Structure 1
């Protein structure tokens, strides 16, 4: 069966979401159009507002509609610890464990020269300037245990060493090639509590 161009465009757009295959996209599109037009309108408004108003925190680079996100503004967070993660979803996964009380720096990716992603795209100049201020005494590398994540972590460790900042890495227990957002809370808590210093 062939759908009209507008319906097919909606299905194709939904297929662009992670984990959504053709059948799921088709079901979602038809549900929104046929059974729940109010949800479709609400989704449309939410997407438009988020696209227009959500940007990056000026301090940690996570997604927020405020200049400085709530975590960075909190007086209860430990200012001497800075945890480097690849994405906002990694930040959320760590926050859900409740084991870490420091601040974050979100790379929004990892080093990938083939994709044109270098230090500038990851905000590493901003990270270096932040480390140079002297407030951070421990930099915790929580990049994903993939080849790209480890390469990125090694690069950042060298950057921190130049600023005289101690660097630690999450302990073993994280699966090689895995991603933090899919790791269970108990494993992530263990990885944090058992983090190891990185030799520069």
Structure 2
């Protein structure tokens, strides 16, 4: 791809660093910005920059937040005794879209995957154990992607929770093994939450 402007080339290169954005798509986006009023482009750039500078992670559940506690954890109407354990922030958004869950969340920040060099110490597991130990938690619901890594993570965390009087469940397998929560339709995900089962049904002791 030949460019008549180094500035244009550099902008395309930066956009193409984004996941799922190839050179052609990056060029289309940059050319669109060239047709946009400079004030709007400045606002776009400042919005992205401000987001990156000022965004926080909830001290309780590790979800993205504007404050020390995210809006979900800080809402009195949410059931604080329910914790839904998910892999990523995108999974929180997927479950929230179902409007069928009124508890809180805990974002692990990934799953245990030795082949990828990800161990338990690199995930937000200890803070989950602390929440279950220090608060009046009645149930922990695992809503991890139905694959080997997800099941391995559930097995490991379940063992860490074994000494606590907490009910431990997992969403039902309405989502196919090997699938991902963020791509599941809202009705399937909602039913998987409603029909959750003890983790023993999925993880061999």
The Cα shift of 1:63 comes to: 0.9
Q: Secondary structure at the match of 1:70?
A: coil
CA distance in structure 1 between the aligned counterparts of 2:151 and 2:10, rounded to whole angstroms: 38
Query: How far apart are 1:174 and its partner, in Å?
Result: 0.5
SS in structure 2 of the partner of residue 171 of structure 1: coil
Structure 2 Cα separation of the partners of residues 149 and 37 of structure 1: 46
User: Does 1:80 find its partner at 2:81?
Assistant: yes
Q: Which runs of 5+ in 2 are unaligned?
A: none
- What is aligned with 1:193? 194
Structure 1 stretch displaced more, 45-54 or 146-155: 146-155
Stretches of structure 1 lacking an aligned partner (at least 5 in a row): none
What displacement does 1:24 show? 1.4
Instruction: Work out the CA distance in 2 between the residues paired with 1:54 and 1:148.
Output: 29
| Count of residues in Structure 1 that have an aligned counterpart in Structure 2 | 200
1:67-120 superposed Cα distances (whole Å, 9 cap, x missing partner) = 011110111011111000111111011011111111100112122334443223
Q: Distance in 2 between matches of 1:29 and 1:146?
A: 38
Moved more, 109-118 or 119-128: 109-118
Alignment of 1:138-153 (within 5 A): 138-153=139-154
Could you list the structure 1 runs, at least 4 aligned residues long, displaced by more than 4 angstroms after superposition: none
Q: Is the 8 A contact 2:146 2:173 kept in 1?
A: no
Q: 1:47 to 1:170 in 2, by over 3 A?
A: same
Correspondence list, 1:75-114, <5 A? 75-114=76-115
**CA RMSD of the aligned region, Å?**
1.7
